[in-house]
A = this chain, B = another copy of it.
Amino acid sequence: MTALKNDRFLRALLREPVDVTPVWMMRQAGRYLPEYRETRGRAGDFMSLCGNPELACEVTLQPLDRFPLDAAILFSDILTVPDAMGLGLYFETGEGPRFERPVRSANDISSLRSPDPEQELGYVMDAVRLIRRELDGRVPLIGFAGSPWTVATYMVEGGSSKGFSIIKRMMFDQPALLHQLLGKVTETTTDYLNAQVAAGAQAVMVFDTWGGALTPRDYREFSLRYMQQIVDGLTREADGRKVPVILFTKNGGLWLEDMANTGCDALGIDWTIDMGDARTRVGDRVALQGNMDPCMLYASPERIRQEVATILESFGKGEGMVFNLGHGIHPDVDPEHAAALVNAVHELSAPYHK
């Protein structure tokens, strides 16, 4: 493999010195880019795009050709895992993802498949290998998966949910059943992430999009516990280099200490907490990644630049910060505004390092 030409992102996650703060954007390969919409049009639907390694590689690299980003992230979806476990993922127009066979009973759980990542999820590993080859050492590649709790919400509800009424009822009245499901998803997810690392992912991120819908007690028991198991089970080194792990719980600002104690390397944080406050709370246990409100990209480039300055100043001097949005970039953002963000981070952050 070619040596990395830009390893700022990996260094920052391990709180090692960098010249400027590294930056990437959640969902940076996405609908706000006309070239993405073009490739997506050729692929047909969203899952056909995820399932085609050549096209997944193509869209993964598109934002890197536009902006001087410091990391690439595998183009895929958190629902590839439950799909491979046998739930039958499909997309209903305007309805988002749905499952043909949602999980509601002990029977449903025992008939779940334990997919071999190189078989049922081989298309993802092929994409990882192809992207690494095409990246040719430009920047590191991030692999990812959904948190077991977040993935389970889709599996039990049968798709996207606003209130999580079905899975919460299971959690309250049949906690052992839900634990059984979460245990299975955790095993598969750990295998899946390790396979991504073996295929070439240089950092991994676990997306806990819906952990913030829980009480602190339920969060620890039904979400964090399983992310902890993933952290414990992950390959943390590859090609003689550490593979950092990032945990991200949306709306998890109240629980940063608990998350930092899992032994992960970094926490993703959304925009509801100040960088500086988050840093004070986690101390030198983990690096931080975030945390601009994605709606800021609707504002003028001057205002975006000002917000970048505010966030950099909030974190302050020293190492351990990766700049990102606090959630995925919105599909109706002007790509020029994303450029303003990326450039501002590089231009304004040098004084904070050395």
Chain A residues within 8 Å of B, Cβ to Cβ: 163-165, 168-169, 172-173, 212, 214-218, 251, 253-254, 271-274, 277, 293, 295-296, 298-300, 303, 307, 310, 330, 332
A10 to B330, CA, bound (A): 45
Cross-chain contact of A298 among B169, B215, B216 (Cβ < 8 A): B169
What's the dominant secondary structure at chain A's contact region?
A: helix
In contact, B251 and A295 (Cβ under 8 angstroms): no
Identify which of A273, A295, A299, A330 gathers the most chain B CB atoms within 10 Å of its CB. Answer: A295
Residue numbers in B under 8 Å from A300 (CB-CB): 172-173
Residue numbers in B under 8 Å from A310 (CB-CB): 217
Who on chain B is nearest to A167 by CB? B295
A58 to B263, CA, bound (A): 56
A299 to B178, CA, bound (A): 14
Known A251-B251, A272-B251; contact A172-B296, beta-carbon cutoff 8 A:
yes
A310 to B216, CA, bound (A): 12
In contact, A295 and B163 (Cβ under 8 angstroms): yes
A163 to B330, CA, bound (A): 9
A274 to B220, CA, bound (A): 12
Who on chain B is nearest to A299 by CB? B172
Cross-chain contact of A214 among B165, B251, B272 (Cβ < 8 A): B272
13 extra interface residue pairs, beta carbon distance < 8 Å, beyond A169-B295, A169-B299, A173-B299: A163-B330, A165-B295, A168-B296, A168-B298, A172-B307, A173-B303, A212-B251, A214-B293, A215-B274, A216-B272, A216-B277, A251-B272, A254-B254
A152 to B66, CA, bound (A): 37
Residue numbers in B under 8 Å from A271 (CB-CB): 214-215
Who on chain B is nearest to A273 by CB? B254
Cross-chain contact of A172 among B212, B216, B254, B303 (Cβ < 8 A): B303
A271 to B254, CA, bound (A): 12
Residue numbers in B under 8 Å from A163 (CB-CB): 295, 330
In contact, B299 and A212 (Cβ under 8 angstroms): no
In contact, B172 and A215 (Cβ under 8 angstroms): no
Q: List 5 A-B contacts (CB under 8 A).
A: A164-B295, A165-B298, A168-B295, A172-B299, A172-B303
A172 to B340, CA, bound (A): 15
Who on chain B is nearest to A310 by CB? B217
Residue numbers in B under 8 Å from A212 (CB-CB): 251, 272
